[in-house]
Amino acid sequence: MKIGFIGLGNMGGPMAANLAKAGHEVIGYDTVDVAIEGVSLVPSAAEAASTAEVMITMLPNGQILRAVAAEIIPAMQAGAAFVDCSTVDVDSARAVADQAAAAGLLAVDAPVSGGIGGASAGTLTFMAGGSEEAFAKAQPLIDIMGQKAVHCGASGAGQSAKICNNMILGVTMIATCEAFALADKLGLDRQKMFDVVSTSSGSSWSMNAYCPAPGVGPQSPADNGYQPGFAADLMLKDLRLSQQAASSADADTPMGQLAEALYARFVEEEDGKGMDFSAMLPRFETRNRED
């Protein structure tokens, strides 16, 4: 298949390389100079779009996605598919899908989870929104870049699933970190805390698979000086998207709101920028109740 790929950064680069490795013809464009194995670069997004059967985007945010979509949709051939894998706000995902449909294109919002490691290994999880026909066209490519895909519903459903998942993740990570910090002050051994909680009703992915306490549980960024992993800045981005969506849908999400505020403070005022999102534990460790 002839594929155009726009946004060849930390995630898009290895995803495009995996498509090329699987035998597809991949034409790429990024605003900065990049070299991706097996991918031919062209000087503009529109040029990549003019001959592609599927256009994939992996961009930083909804504003950039909207700008790129405005450039490539008019250049695409009728019947081609526009698959956006970026994490963006639900409104932008729906707006771009509407524009694509109006131009006779198929559209899928297909954000991913699994990080840079999953992008390189081709083991991402995709959550997709769009028509059956659009999803069917994207699925063979999604299967190369990932190991699991859930078709969540109509356009925007992929982004909705992604931000709801990450809102749960942000909240449970904070709860896990503050509980470890409380346990420390109560004189409870961290390993014992893990042994109990990971097999009890307080268990979660944050505790069991990504334990924020160094030396406890499976290997995680905590064992590597809290180098990301999943950066606190990206968690903040996703929590902001969740609260933007909650606000436009008039949903009451007090825990999500508080998680957003805590990560904003951590990243913007404390030393959380560039740290893994589980570095909330050393943050809580050094604090007292009134801080």
CB of 12 to ligand NAD, least distance (A): 5
Q: Does 202 bind ligand NAD (CB under 6 A)?
A: no
The stretch near ligand NAD (CB under 6 A) out of 28-36, 127-135, 181-189, 197-205 is 28-36
Q: How far is the CB of 37 from ligand NAD (least distance, A)?
A: 16
Specify whether the CB–CB gap between 53 and 41 falls below 8 A.
no
DSSP state of 31: S
* Crossing angle (nearest 10°) for helices 232-249 and 157-185: 120
Residue 49 contacts ligand NAD per CB under 6 A: no
Question: Which of 30-38, 94-102, 164-172, 218-226 is the region at the interface with ligand NAD (rule: CB under 6 A)?
Answer: 30-38
Beta bridge partners of 113: 125
CA–CA separation, 67 vs 72, rounded Å?
A: 9
Q: Nearest Cα to 222, choosing from 202, 207, 234? A: 207
Q: Phi then psi for 129, rounded to 5 degrees?
A: -130, 140
Interaction pattern, residues 99-138, with ligand NAD; x per rule: CB under 6 A? -------------xx-xx----------------------
Among 26, 27, 30, 97, binds ligand NAD (CB under 6 A): 30
CA distance 123 to 111: 13
Closest by Cα among 126, 131, 87 to 105: 131
The tokens describing 225, both together, are 């000086």
Contact flag: residue 17 with ligand NAD (CB under 6 A): no
Q: Per-residue string for binding with ligand NAD, 76-105, x by CB under 6 A?
A: ----------xx------------------
What's the min distance (Å) between Cβ of 62 and ligand NAD? 9
Token pair in block for residue 156: 């925007």
Count of CB atoms within 10 A of residue 259's CB? 28
59 interacts with ligand NAD by CB under 6 A:
yes
Residue 156, interface with ligand NAD (CB under 6 A)?
no
Query: Rounded to whole angstroms, how far apart are CA atoms 252 and 282?
Result: 30
Closer by beta carbon to ligand NAD, 130 or else 158: 158
Kindly list the residues in this chain that would bind ligand NAD in the complex (CB under 6 A): 6-12, 29-32, 45, 58-60, 64, 67-68, 86-87, 112-113, 115-116, 230, 234, 237
Catalytic residue numbers, as ranges: 162
